[in-house]
Structures are given as structure tokens and as C-alpha cells.
Amino acid sequence: MIVTIVGAGNMGRGIATRALAGGHEVRLVDTDGPKAEALAKELGSAGRAGAAVDVADGSVGGDVVVLALPYPVGQEVIRQLTPGTIAVDISNPVDFTTFDSLATPPGTSAAEDIAHANPRARVVKAFNTTFATTLISGEVAGQTLDVFIAGDDEQAKTQVAELVRGGGMRPLDAGPLRRARELEAFQFLHMTLQDRLGLRWSSAIKLLP
């Protein structure tokens, strides 16, 4: 599978690490070309072969395109995608001016906003409940990471689940794309608890039987 990750930040690094662990080809795209190149070099020096950089013409393609971007930047990128592209939105629309609410109106989500920006793309919500540091290791306290997936296209969700499973994590189908509203709110709560509970951004949301 060719996995294109748009955004060479911390989450881009974490998701690329898991995708490469699953044996997939990774392409890193960023408006800052040297930043993407540096991340590719870092991944290569860590013994994770297959990281490539595609920043020459700004084109975005692949079997799965991960929008490792803050909200609402993903809306701009998804408009460039060809019809039928599987696009993974990982964002959490937090109002960082107050860090006390979400920036999206009630009854919607960042993922749905991104889907509306390009109705011909197949948008899947995933990875928004995992922190970058936990993705690097792929586990927390010996527990496999749970990755919640929401989307309206079953084939697209299956493809993303394959990506998740290949990286040593557990995909959990949360239902249609509108479930992204709850996933984003849930992760916002998770984020607010980091300092309060001294979790240091290394915790995970896990479902246990």
C-alpha cells in the first residue's frame, strides 16, 4: 500500500513509523520540503526503509492519504485530491486560544467539514485519539493501541483498518462519519486531562472487555 502523509510534524512522524512497520511505502508531503526530507532521513536512519519524499510539484496521491494537519488546514488539501481518494482526517478541532472548547459548531465535526470540502473523496476519521508519542512505540503500558475509525464508505474503512492492523494496532469501527463528533469530543477531554493527571501526553484510550 502507498501511504501518503501530508504533514511532517509529530503526528506525521508517528503515523509514518506505524505504516513503515506494516511494510507499506510511505510518501511524506509538506509545504516545508527540507522538513519532510529531514523526517524521511530520520526514519531511514532508524532502520525503517521505504520512506520517500514527494514535495517537488505539490501533488498528492496514493492508496491512502493521511491529512496529518491541524484543523482546518485539511480542507484546503482535500480539494486537491482526485475523486475516490481515501483521505484520513486525524485532526481535533480544539480552540487553542482558550483550550476550553472545540472550534466546530455543535452537531458537526472537523471530519465532516473536510468531507464537505470535497464530496468526491472518501473521508475516514482515524488516529485522532492517539498521541504522537504513543504511535512511535505502538503501545502504552504493554497494551496495543486502539485506533477508532469512522466513515461512510465501508471499503475505505477496511483499507484504513488494514493500515492500522499492519502497524501492530487494533482498529475499532466506530460507525459512520458523524461519529467523528464524539471521537473529537472524547479526545478533547483526553487532552484536557494530560496536565491535570500528569499523563505527559503518553496515555491512550483503550476499550477492554
Task: Give the E-state strand segments of 21-110 in sequence order.
Answer: 25-29, 51-53, 64-67, 86-89
Gap between the Cα atoms of 14 and 78, Å rounded = 21
Report the CATH number of the 2-197 domain. Answer: 3.40.50.720
Taking residues 58-70, what's their average pLDDT?
Answer: 87
Is the model's pLDDT at 127 over the cut of 70? yes
pLDDT digits (tens, 9 = 90+) for 156-182: 999 999 999 999 999 999 999 999 999
Taking residues 54-72, what's their average pLDDT?
Answer: 79
pLDDT digits (tens, 9 = 90+) for 93-123: 999 999 999 999 999 999 999 999 999 999 9
pLDDT of residue 57: 45
What is the grid cell recorded at 185?
A: 469530543
